Structure 1
């Protein structure tokens, strides 16, 4: 993995995302691969693929569609048989656990590979393929492909609900514009946000349950790039599982705005002098709040907000690499 190339991958997010919006405005790729009798959906994948799949499944369930997301490594995959759509997600198309899970699928289930790598082993094991169109990520880190996974799974939601992709394409264009804003304004926010979040005890991220993947992916970027401690939590659950760390550590927390449970979280972080950064909305008790165009739209936030911890991680990764070489 290469930090400079990773940062270049991030700068290309708006361009590549806008191209995806154009493609989805012209048609929905799921229309040609989802069997008409589909009644249930199973998302399988590892890492960021699973993060995205879990939110996609929750959104479908909230709209009355039977759907689950499972780690491909699980020995307890659903045995739902015919009329089940299995979406196997792997940007590289080579995740060993996902390939193994496909062998263990029940007879009669339709399988679709969701990948950024045409011709990969994953595509050979599935009945059909939908590509992410995220271009090659030369930094070796799934950043654009993660963002495109979310966008393309939103297109699957459109297909299953019987709606066209016009509104989705507009949302993706808005996310591209928001990403441009964050990239272009980096010098005005990144130094202070990084100083606040990169503490000696690690970096923590919280997000509302319907965008939990943003916190999970953001924490992964902190671990995967600069190799620093990072962990994610759901904002409401934070008061039950992570609050304890505020008493004994120099606790640094990024909160993606939008949960009704932020005030409860703030009671503890304020009382214990924890450092909080809010992204996408006014988070109670935050020492810094970062806003961007369109952040009041949940779907724009879903497709945009992870760029903040990605940039924090990427710049710190570059610094660490330069210090090591020097």
Structure 2
């Protein structure tokens, strides 16, 4: 993994997202590979792919589609037979756990690879492939590919619910504009946010359940790049399982706005002088807030907001490596 190249990958998010929007405006990539009447969907993946799958499965269930997301390393894969669609995701196309899972699924299921790497092992193990179109990530970190995985899963949602991808293409373009704004104004917001978030102990990233992948991915960026202690949390559950660290550490928190449970979180964090940074909306007890164009739209948030911790992590990583 390369810190300078990672920062370069982030800088190209707007243009690569715009190209993805063009593809989605022209049609749905899933139309040729998944039966419109698919009865059940299983998402398989590791790391960022699993984070995106968890949100995608929850969204499909909310739309009446039977769907689950399992980490590919599990020994308990669903045995759902010929009516199932298995979506196996690996940006590199070589995740060994996902490839192993493909040897253990029901052979009568429809199996689709979702990858950013043409001709990779996962494409050979599946009957069809959806290309993430995120282009090569020179830094070795799944950043654009994570964003594109979410977008492609939204396209699958459109396909399975009989919805055109026209509105989704507009959403992806809005995320490109929002990403461009965050990049072009980085010098205005990132130094303060970094000072607040990168304390001596650990950082928690919280997001509402329907966008939990943002907290998980953001925390991964802190761990993967600058090797910082970071945990991704669901905002409501934070008050039950992660709140305890406010008592005896200099805990810092990044909170992606939009959960109805933020007041409960602030009841614990505020009186204990926990440092909070809000992203994408007003967050109780936040010291500062990062806003961006389109952050009133929940799907724009989903496709955009991880850029905030990604940029903080990228610059901290560059500083640690002396590459800036």
Aligning the two structures, in what range does the TM-score lie when normalised by the shorter sequence?
over 0.9
Alpha-carbon contact 1:197-1:252 (below 8 Å) kept:
yes
Who is 2:50 aligned against?
A: 50
Report the TM-score, using the length of structure 1 for normalisation. Answer: 0.98
User: Which position in structure 2 is the counterpart of 1:272?
Assistant: 272
Deviations 1:135-180 (A, max 9, x none): 0000000000000000000000000000110000000000000000
Partner SS, residue 294 of structure 1: coil
1:109-131 alpha-carbon deviations (Å, 9 max, x no partner): 01000000010000000010000
The answer to whether the Cα contact below 8 Å between 2:197 and 2:203 also exists between their aligned partners in 1 is yes
TM-score by length of 2: 0.99
Deviation at 1:37, TM superposition (A): 4.2
Cα offset for 1:186? 0.4
Indicate whether 1:93 and 2:86 are aligned: no
The answer on whether the counterparts of 1:37 and 1:83 sit within 8 Å (CA) in structure 2 is no
Structure 1 Cα separation of the partners of residues 56 and 98 of structure 2? 18
Task: Find the aligned partners of 1:86 and 1:243 in 2 and give their Cα distance.
Answer: 36
Partner of 2:156: 156
**Superposed displacement of residue 102, structure 1:** 0.3
Q: Distance in 1 between matches of 2:68 and 2:90?
A: 17
Q: Deviations over 1:87-111 (max 9, x none)?
A: 0000000000000000001131010
1:168 aligns with 2:191: no
Aligned length: 324
Question: Which blocks of at least 5 consecutive residues in structure 2 are unaligned?
Answer: none
Residue aligning to 1:19: 19
CA contact (8 A) 1:278 1:286 kept: yes
Could you list the per-position Cα deviations for residues 173-207 of structure 1 after superposition, in whole angstroms to 9, with x for gaps in the alignment?
00000000000000100000000000111111000
Moved over 3 A (4+): none
Give, in angstroms, the shift of residue 38 of structure 1: 1.4
Query: How far apart in 2 are the matches of 1:245 and 1:161?
Result: 42
1:83 aligns to what? 83
Which SS does the other structure have where 2:31 is aligned?
A: helix
**Structure 1 unaligned runs (5+)?**
none
SS state at 1:135 partner: coil
